[in-house]
Amino acid sequence: MKSVIRLAALVAFMVRAALPAQADDIPVAVAANFTAPMKRIAAAFEKESGHKVLASYGATGKFYAQIRNGAPFEILLAADDETPARLVQEGAGQSGSQFTYAVGKLVLWSAQPGLVDGAGAVLKKGDFAHLALADPKLAPYGAAGAEVLKALGAYGTVAPKIVSAENITQAYQFIASGNAELGFVALSQVLQDGRTEGSSWLVPANLYTQIRQDAVILQAGKGKPAVEALMKYFKGDKARAIIKSFGYELP
């Protein structure tokens, strides 16, 4: 009888050891362009770890303001590398925790087949009434789109036609709904099984500043095992495979 009790106790101990010491919620601020891959990564991480990812999606610039005003996010997945670095410098981010998790690609996209040509010449022709662009002051992909227009010498012509979006998700919605015939979005938003619907131009990388998307642990998440586990997961093969499948380059 005693041996049975000891065996049961041993089994219970092994089960407890296999589970996280404590399942925690992890509030994460996520750049809007990374919505789809983050949902998939979060689901896989939660299944393996038992922790819960509480993701909020939006413009990096807006998240910066919220974090500086005390928003209780524990991790920021930004759409640039400058915002995490600034938060570290200002004491709101944990020193040494910043790393690049993805390199984004910009695309000029329309839901209409045939509208956007493979060289982006439509921007100079101006055969459209509205172009969606995320606010360059808040969204790095919007800033990249503005860079492209200026590099092509088309900004002055196109400027009156720009429909400003709060973030890259809203820019996508403007285009998908037909409120704007075309606009700049992240490749990850329109890539489905290696293809894009409608018409698109993958913007050459030399026309805009490289979009290095960095993650950083914020002060609210400092020293928390669940936060460390999620950041480690992002650097692993499973998360990197998901990121790559959405059209991002890996650092």
Spatial CB neighbours of 222, under 8 Å, sequence gap ≥ 6: 94
Annotate 163-177 with DSSP letters as a single string.
EEESSHHHHHHHHHH
- pLDDT at position 193: 75
Q: Do domains 2-103+211-245 and 106-202 have the same CATH topology?
A: yes
Q: Is 111 within 8 Å of 175 (Cβ atoms)?
A: yes
CATH of 106-202 among 3.90.1150.10, 3.40.190.10, 3.40.1500.10, 2.40.270.10: 3.40.190.10
Tens digits of pLDDT across the chain (251 residues): 545 445 444 444 454 444 445 789 999 999 999 999 999 999 999 999 999 999 999 999 999 999 999 999 999 999 999 999 999 999 999 999 999 999 999 999 999 999 999 999 999 998 899 999 999 999 999 999 999 999 999 999 999 999 999 999 999 999 999 999 999 999 999 998 778 899 999 999 999 999 999 999 999 999 999 999 999 999 999 999 999 999 999 98
- pLDDT at position 12: 46
- pLDDT at position 6: 54
Identify the architecture of domain 2-103+211-245 in CATH. 3-Layer(aba) Sandwich (3.40)
CA 160 vs CA 129, 133, 154, 244: distances in Å: 9, 12, 11, 36
Segments making up each domain of the chain, as ranges:
2-103+211-245, 106-202
Spatial CB neighbours of 212, under 8 Å, sequence gap ≥ 6: 80, 81, 100, 103, 251
Q: How many CA atoms lie within 13 A of 242 on its CB side?
A: 19
Give the pTM.
0.85
Amino acid at 15: V
- pLDDT at position 137: 93
